[in-house]
Structure 1
Amino acid sequence: MDANHINDNTVRTPDMIAAEIVAIKEQTGKILLISAVEIGKRLLEAKEKIPYGEFVRWLEGSVAYSESTAYNLMHIAEAYGPELSVSSDVSGKTEAFTKLGYTQAFVLLGLPAEERAEFITQFDLENMAVRELQQAVNDRKLALTEKEALQKENDTQKSAISQLSKELDQAKKEATDNLQAVWAEQGNVLKLQRKLDVVENENAATKHIAEIELESKILKLNLSMTQADARFDLIAKGFDDLFIAIKEMAAADPKAFKFYLIQTNQFISKTLEKLRRMEKSAPAVPEAPATPEDSAL
């Protein structure tokens, strides 16, 4: 039958379409997928031509189909029609599709389109009972669901590790800035101590002002050191959380575990190298002036 003739809407009538469907049904006692697709195409065509509300009556009177069977066939035509029309030959995937029966094809609709072709090449569908096929489809759907869940969990872990890395970078920067500030404050405190020693014999007011300045600097220094300690605690906790996340990844995704383990090692090595360079470039801390007790020794 000429496939182009199906689309000639100007001359075809519902009666003509019904006659074609009956002819296809009578060609074989078992409706194969290719026949189901052809019937489904014609049912879709007829549905467009028949007035609204008359389709079910036409089904029962013209082609002896229930509404549910007709809609199943139309669904099959929409799902498998493109697969069967991709190539004119009947080898490989197309040949596997043509061997499917109507019931088998309907059960396989439970799988995504990209999974069906691979699925039918893995099983002897011609010798499988419908119940066995349904179970196999359910098993595949469960496996796909578990795979998708595992992928989502892996993506979540990657996102969490990425966010943690950003937080560690920020904490490291702030800790470095605070550490440099601490060193600078230490130098200022020593300078103030020298100034205090110089003016020790001057009037009480001048000495009192110097003492106040020194006390203020010491307070600021203590505050900076406290902030630095807090940042170090944050970094330590961040690394603990990172190690836990990577350890949990070992069983779920060994490749991801190895990848992030390497990334973490590299990150720590780079961080240590930066700290070493920063230590070398930091200004030297001046030594405290000798006290009378030191001189006596």
Structure 2
Amino acid sequence: MDNSTGERTPLVIAAEINMITCQTKKILLAGAIEIGCRLQEAKALVKHGEWGKWLESVSYSQKTAERLIKLYQEYGPNFSDGLDTSKSTSMSNMTYTQALLLLGLPAEEREEFIEQNDVGGMTTKKLQQALQENQALKKGLETIDSTISELKNEQAKAASMPTNPENVKAEAPSAGQPALPTHNLKTEYDPDAHIKYVEKCDTCCKTIADTFFNLTTALTNLAHIDPNLKEEKRKEANRLIEYMAETIKEWPPPKKPLRFNS
């Protein structure tokens, strides 16, 4: 090694070791993919029931062999060893461990994640954290969509129900005023009914608070991934929150004179 080009310091040596380690891990991934390719080929040729015995000849367990085959199936077509510049190099910058961690994502999500993140420059810990945040974002968006869908369904059901179950017609709302959802409730004769409804209110408020936390977490993560999609979801959630706020201000609606059927 020629040391005349610069001063040899512990910092320089550490940087060189880290670079060599990273390069070694990338070479390991390339080799693993090549081995996975050949294992898949061999598995198709080996007679049924003899796969485990054949693997003994290459000193691989079935679990390891299946993992290597999976690496080839998921990364092989798009993997570049750095020599072929016609292929995307985003995957070739990954290490073996990074590639294994990313197998937990569906193919489409994985490609998007790799494009949006410098996976090759992440430590294992940072990659694991990023993947956890990605799952939290996905779960948060699913929660938002599910909550909005449920509320829309409840509103549609309420709008289709008669105002009074005893064939009584209430006055129609003023023109231009949206009708609030109605609840056909039976008279409570239980003197302790208030306890049940106070507990129900407390439970619902906690659910709303938890869901709102998930919503803000999802929007925060989405802001870093796709600002336009974040804004779309924020506006959608804001409309829902405004509707809920306006509704709760006057809920339950004031009683109005009833007009009986003649």
In the superposition, the TM-score normalised over structure 2's length comes to 0.50
Q: Is the 8 A contact 2:97 2:124 kept in 1?
A: yes
Query: Which secondary structure does the structure 2 equivalent of 1:239 belong to?
Result: coil
**Match of residue 149, structure 2, among 147, 155, 167:** 155
Query: Which secondary structure does the structure 2 equivalent of 1:95 belong to?
Result: coil
Q: Is the 8 A contact 2:29 2:96 kept in 1?
A: yes
Corresponding residue of 2:34: 38
Corresponding residue of 1:67: 62
Q: Structure 2: which 5+ runs fail to align?
A: 1-22, 174-178, 184-207, 216-233, 247-262
User: d(CA) in 2 for partners of 1:104 and 1:98?
Assistant: 11
Corresponding residue of 1:232: 170
Corresponding residue of 1:269: none
Corresponding residue of 2:239: 258
Letter of the structure 1 residue corresponding to residue 239 of structure 2:
K
Q: Is the 8 A contact 2:158 2:181 kept in 1?
A: no
Q: Is the 8 A contact 1:40 1:75 kept in 2?
A: yes
1:33/1:156 Cα in 2 relative to 1: closer, same or farther (>3 Å)? farther
Corresponding residue of 2:128: 134
Identity among equivalent pairs (%): 33
Q: Is the 8 A contact 1:32 1:100 kept in 2?
A: no
1:256/1:38 Cα in 2 relative to 1: closer, same or farther (>3 Å)? same
The ranges of structure 1 where at least 4 consecutive aligned residues each deviate by more than 6 angstroms after the TM superposition are 259-262
Alpha-carbon distance, 1:57 to partner: 3.1
Alpha-carbon distance, 1:34 to partner: 4.5
Q: Is the 8 A contact 1:33 1:97 kept in 2?
A: no
What is the CA deviation profile of residues 180-219 of structure 1, one whole-angstrom value per residue up to 9, with x for unaligned ones? xxxxxxxxxxxxxxxxxxxxxxxxxxxxxxxxxxxxxxxx
In the superposition, the TM-score normalised over structure 1's length comes to 0.45
Corresponding residue of 2:52: 56
1:177-188 equivalence runs, <5 A: none
User: d(CA) in 2 for partners of 1:37 and 1:164?
Assistant: 57
Alpha-carbon distance, 1:111 to partner: 1.6
Alignment of 1:95 onto 2:89: yes
1:32/1:115 Cα in 2 relative to 1: closer, same or farther (>3 Å)? farther
1:1-297 equivalence runs, <5 A: 29-30=24-25, 31-62=27-58, 64-84=59-79, 90=85, 94-167=88-161, 171=162, 227-228=167-168, 231-232=169-170, 239=180, 254-256=235-237, 258=239
Alpha-carbon distance, 1:112 to partner: 2.2
Q: What value does the CA root-mean-square deviation take over the aligned residues?
A: 4.2
Q: Is the 8 A contact 1:36 1:73 kept in 2?
A: yes
Alpha-carbon distance, 1:241 to partner: 5.0
Aligned residues: 170
User: d(CA) in 1 for partners of 2:97 and 2:70?
Assistant: 12
User: d(CA) in 2 for partners of 1:55 and 1:80?
Assistant: 23
Q: Structure 1: which 5+ runs fail to align?
A: 1-27, 176-225, 243-247, 266-297
Q: Is the 8 A contact 1:37 1:76 kept in 2?
A: yes
